Amino acid sequence: MDTINTSYILHHMHEDELPLNAVSPPVFQTSIFCFPNCKALGEAMQDDACHSFYSRGNNPTVNLAEEKIAALEGGERAKIVSSGMAAISHAVMAFVKAGDHVVCVEDCYGWTKTLLVSYLARFNVKVSFVEGTDTGEVIAALRPETRVLYLESPTSFTFKLQDLPAIAAEARKRNIKTIMDNTWATPIFCNPIKFGIDLVVHSASKYMSGASDIIAGAVIGSKDDIELIYRQEYLQLGPVPDPLMAWLMLRGLRTLHVRMKAHHEGALAVASFLEGHPGVERVFYPMLPSYTQITLARRLFSGASGLFSFKLRTKKPEEAIRFADTLRLFKRAVSWGGYESLVIPNAICYPNAADIPPDRVGLVRIHIGLERPEDLIADLEKALAAI
């Protein structure tokens, strides 16, 4: 982890240009920008990807956050949008047309799957799913009409990793756009662009705010790719980030590197505890020394975040639910990435208990917040004893 560069970007990049020597950037809560004459307005409108004249396109508070996120990811440009799903849908839709094919990892974020399976089907775009852990399997799924290869490493709930450099190189040879959801690792621990991935997408609703107080997304890539997304999707579909949201994101970003280090340390301590507990069958935390893909994890990530899952030994969904209900410091909620610890048993994601796949009955996902790890471990110990 390049801490000097990271903290420079987060604390200082463009900050000495702020009006009135303000240390915190202003929230430009304005829909329009006025110009001294028509020539200046006309010029701004012609170069619309780079100028603020209407906040559906650009806004200085939003642009400041975009420049920092692009620099953090090592991309030329970034666009912030109103949710992680807006980032994902824009990145995918910009590079497919009727008749095209997409390859995606099986255990991707649930709404990503719905987008690819149900929404894109209306436009005659086909999708194939791969487990993703075997690069050969991924390559074999590529077809002549494949235009997008969508990755999420680690995958949602199951934490399976993909060999990003190997897959990106194969996709590049075939002129296929690679998109990677990097929400879990954040740009602090992983920079997919350095591994050859074309576009990185984020749900900024997670660690970028760090306070569970915004819904936002970001897409990062080359100048050409981001300007294509901007012109071809964003200006028409309009997932506009609010300037106040961008400001909250900037505030969150200032502490991102410090928080991520604490999430990593806390999660590693809790994952190690769970691994040694007789009530736990398996722990899925990529940075655990015993993890099946630990060698790949160490190549991809310089650290790991606070989100992971584990499998309780119980075969009864009601026991997994009682375990989650007994916890006191862990709150029961969706999402993650804030200062607080959270829990969600996978069983409650299925409307009927009969539909829960047998290997997911005892599967529980937790987010390790910024509480003292020893307090979280004591809480988990009590809840495990309640099963």
Active site residues: 56, 109, 181, 206
Query: Which is nearer to ligand PLP, 293 or 305 (by Cβ)?
Result: 305
Q: If binding is defined by CB under 6 A, does position 338 make contact with ligand PLP?
A: no
Q: How far apart are CA 285 and CA 305, in angstroms?
A: 9
Question: What is the number of the residue whose Cβ is closest to ligand PLP?
Answer: 84
The count of chain residues that interact with ligand PLP, using the rule CB under 6 A, is: 13
Q: Which of residues 29-48 bind ligand PLP (CB under 6 A)?
A: none
Sign of torsion over alpha carbons 202, 259, 247, 340 = positive
Contact window for ligand PLP (CB under 6 A) among 6-14, 64-72, 80-88, 118-126: 80-88
Q: What letter would DSSP give residue 117?
A: I
User: Which span sits near ligand PLP by CB under 6 A: 7-15, 78-86, 141-149, 289-297?
Assistant: 78-86
Verify binding: residue 215, ligand PLP, rule CB under 6 A. Answer: yes
Please return the burial class of 278, using the count of CB atoms within 10 Å of its CB with bins 0-12, 13-18 and 19+: exposed
The SS3 of residue 331 is strand
Alpha carbon 379 to its chain centroid, in Å, reads 28
C-beta closer to ligand PLP: residue 108 or 383: 108
Distance of CA 173 to the CA centre of its chain: 26
Which is it for strands 177-181 and 146-152: parallel, antiparallel or unpaired? Answer: parallel
Residue from 217, 286, 306, 362 binding ligand PLP (CB under 6 A): 217
CA 236-240-241 angle, to 5 degrees, is 160
- Which of 333, 331, 351 minimizes the C-alpha distance to 341? 331
Q: Does 349 bind ligand PLP (CB under 6 A)?
A: no
Q: Which is nearer to ligand PLP, 52 or 112 (CB)?
A: 112
Task: Rule CB under 6 A: say whether 348 interacts with ligand PLP.
Answer: no
Interface positions with ligand PLP (CB under 6 A): 83-85, 109, 152, 156, 181, 183, 203, 205, 215, 217, 335
